[in-house]
Structure 1
Amino acid sequence: MGDPPYEDRRKSLITKAYLNIMSFEDLHPAKISLQNDFDYQYYQNRIKPKQKPFYCVAQDVIQTFDIDTKVISKQSECQQPPWHLLKPNVSTQLHNIITKKDLPHLIKSEGDILIDTNYNNYIKIYTDGSKEPDSGKSSCAYVIPEFKIKKVFTCELMAIFLALNWIQDVLPLNVVIFVDSLSALQAIQGPLSKVNNLIIYDIYYSITTVLKAGINVVLEWIPSHIGIWGNELADMQAKHALNYELIYTKTTLYKEDIKTVCTNILKTMWQTSWDSNKKGRHLYEIKKKISFKVSLPKMIRRKETIMYRLRTGYAKLNKHLFKIGVKNSEMCENCGRAPETAKHFLLECTTYSDNRNVMLQELIAQGVTNFSMQSLLSEKAQSVLPIINFIYATKGDI
């Protein structure tokens, strides 16, 4: 669909700026000026919605979406000098051996060989994360099969951190933490000067404590969803945790997560506006779920124009032409039985029966079996060419 409504985008940007300010230190002048509730209470019922100041708009959104600003992490650098922290032992050797094109059973075999050969005398900890896109909920788990320990948390890096906490409590001699998130391990493996996630600092602190205690810890990457038993168990626990109402570990809202929070807020406001708005109902029947991406496949300008006109209802058909005063009637001039809408033109008008049969045969050949308007004018590239051919054979242009 492209761009969200201006008002929703403005609220999202204001909220993002406000939450960024809330991540400043308590004595920062900007934060001090925004912590006075008097202005919000005064302006709340005394000013028009579109004239509300920055603070009041942000407070409206925060209260609507129940955002707790107290859990926002303060901006800070590494609490210890970087040269006092020990580098984690991160291994991604399997990444250099296998590729996505390899057969699953071969990938699993390589993973099993690595685990049995290199880490036979190690306590094995498996971590995994899961996210539910619609609700925005996320969780992860770490599993220790030898001790039948299963713990669920939020976010992948947090699982690694809490697994390290378990190591500090139990003090085993050799431990390997298997992680299926290559990006998480690469972030840990990278230079401290480029770290922008405070959880990674916490992982470094824990690693330093563990290594100084004489414990050998390795963070090892393994591929996901290829049948490695411990990884599959962690994946199952992480997905199961999405249904938990009780939160075992509360995490702070880090500065780098504020953008994601505000994007989700914008999506929710935009979807609510799209569902309740009286305008654009023709397009709503075709695309009910909002999207930041322009979803139609790439094509030449002429074809693209035709498809967008059909989707939005602004095609050169009598229904629209009558609405803007070009035609005296909205009825179809060919059959005279109904208003000439996009649906009537493509699927109902008896004048174009022969051409329509050709179009339907082309659609079936492309694998399209649902001939509703929502299906024909959706993002699927298969339906574009048959519809364009139908238009060229009948009206020539719309």
Structure 2
Amino acid sequence: MGGSARDTLVDRTSEAVTNYAVTLGTREEQNPYTAELAAIAMALESMPPSVRHRCIIIITRNQSALAAIRQPRQQSGQGIITQIYKSANLLKQRGNSIVFRWAPAESNFALGSEAKAAAQRATKEVRTPDSQLYPAKSTTVKLAMTKQRRGRTLPQGVGKFSTAMDAALPGKHTRVLYDNLKRREACVLAQLRTGMAKLNGFLSRIGAAESDLCACGHARETVEHFLWRCIRWTALRDGMLQCTETRRGSLSFYLGSKAPSDPKKWVPNMKAVRATIKYTIATRRLDLDDEHRLDQSQ
């Protein structure tokens, strides 16, 4: 259990102390912010009708909860904040005043330590929620995004070329690769990274070309052959060769992919990626019909 509400009501006239502790739900459903709002709401609702013409002081260590109560806009926990305002208005009708104060975590606040210990007891695994509280919007969104990331895998048999070349798929680095590219550049990179390029090796596989042989006559026209081995484009590879001395010929390096040997904290080398795109465009080998028309109109 990850969320609990705990309050201590102190009657200074009789020195009577009343403790309340409620288990709200799991960490996936609640967070310390909503738990603190629930605790404040419970404290105000628990004030007996006999409390009149008093100064009620609410002390909390959660600044976010105080800020939300002070200026309720579109924060999570709007339902609880509404309850707080309703209870506060009823108390004010009885002549009471309500003051909210923040107690820093490092302060010597005895009631705060007692509240923390009670919250730990209320959030043990054996405890079940005492009340049904709406999950916080921020927590719900975070949980949904986590589940999406966990389930973000490519179907079996799909993208064999890409997954073999890029150990980081699926990953956020693809946005880094494509976000700053122009349409034509992105089209070129997508062909090279997927292997579904306008090259005879792929075209023959889908029945769009009679042979998979490259026009140079030396080998099957694959992405790797096109980028590094075809003798027709030797003079155009200087920009690519200048990007590295040790990783020449590496599809992963030049196409913005993570190789198995790359460190954990890896980022695509955009200089190499752009050099590869520039080389490919210069050969005009992957040009599509609409791109030809676009070039002519410009």
Report which structure shows greater RCO (CA 8 Å, sep ≥6).
1
**Which has the larger Rg?**
2
> TM-score of the superposition, structure 2-length normalised?
0.49
1 or 2, which has the higher helix percentage?
A: 1
